Amino acid sequence: LPSELRKDVAAKTEALGKSDAVILCLPDDAAKQTVALLDAAGNTKTVVIDASTAHRTDPDWDYGFPELNAAQKEKIVGSNRISNPGCYPTGFIALTRPLVDAKLVRNDAMLAVSAVSGYSGGGKPLMEVYEGAEPNEPWGAYGFSLAHKHIPEMK
């Protein structure tokens, strides 16, 4: 959609209805609102791949990680609601899931992730901190409270 129509509900609903597939790269709330437009219109034909965390642990969505297990690829192929895995969870799950499945690591093991990434994942507020007029350290630590939005996806 042209930028002036991005928030126009009628235009958005029409564009979604005409699409075979859409990839949502939106904040969580906006992703939920966009999917609600499809649901309200009874649209089950448009395939939605959501890159936000809004639907990653929703049981009505298929987790878009075909390497997860032998059946996951088929679930994704047949799905019209696919949640795109996050970057940290992808790395974490790719390393730990085979170990859990092989019973080399207990399912309830307390594991820690030490990870480093760029700041763009923190959204516009964090981007403004690092790209703003005030000088800042090029790194920062966060997520120590176990309340980070990727934790449910990694459990």
User: Edge-to-edge strand order for the sheet containing 81-83?
Assistant: 21-24, 47-50, 81-83, 62-63
Name the helix (H) or strand (E) containing 107: none
Among 36, 40, 87, 115, which one carries the catalytic annotation? Answer: 87
25: annotated active-site residue: no
Alpha carbon distance 155, 151 (integer Å): 6
Alpha carbon distance 23, 1 (integer Å): 13
Give the residue numbers marked as catalytic. 87
